Amino acid sequence: MIEYSNALMYVTTAATIQERLVKIRLIIDKLYILASSTSDAGNGIYESYELDDGQVKVMAKYRSSKQIQADIIAYERMENRYLAQLNGRRYILRDGQNFRRVC
């Protein structure tokens, strides 16, 4: 069994973008569960989560709920970047004359 102390190393071991997205989503889900169960009283207690899929074990510790929220935001941004690489970004440009004005 492979053990990682850093979730980012766990994500980068994936071979394809789809696998990375699955791993990132698992981490985000665990972080949301941890954030909802954490009562941040400011007493310096470490909160931790463990992700074990049978082959790999990832462990992380957090000192406060602010660190958990910062990691959630960072992993969601990473997920959005990989989704953009996979699907591409799409924009619809429309001329202003195509819209009807209601008076």
Q: What is the pLDDT of residues 46-67, one digit of tens each?
A: 677 777 777 778 888 888 888 8
Confidence band (pLDDT; 50, 70, 90) for 40? low
CA atoms of 40 and 99, how far apart (whole Å):
50
Judged against a pLDDT cut of 60, whether residue 26 lies above it is answered with yes
Q: 52 vs 31, which has greater pLDDT?
A: 31
Judged against a pLDDT cut of 70, whether residue 31 lies above it is answered with yes
**26 located within any domain:** yes
Find the domain containing 30 and state its range: 2-89
**16 located within any domain:** yes
What's the structural domain count of the chain? 1
Judged against a pLDDT cut of 60, whether residue 85 lies above it is answered with yes
**57 located within any domain:** yes
**57 sits in which H/E element:** strand 56-62
Confidence band (pLDDT; 50, 70, 90) for 103? low
pTM, full prediction: 0.74
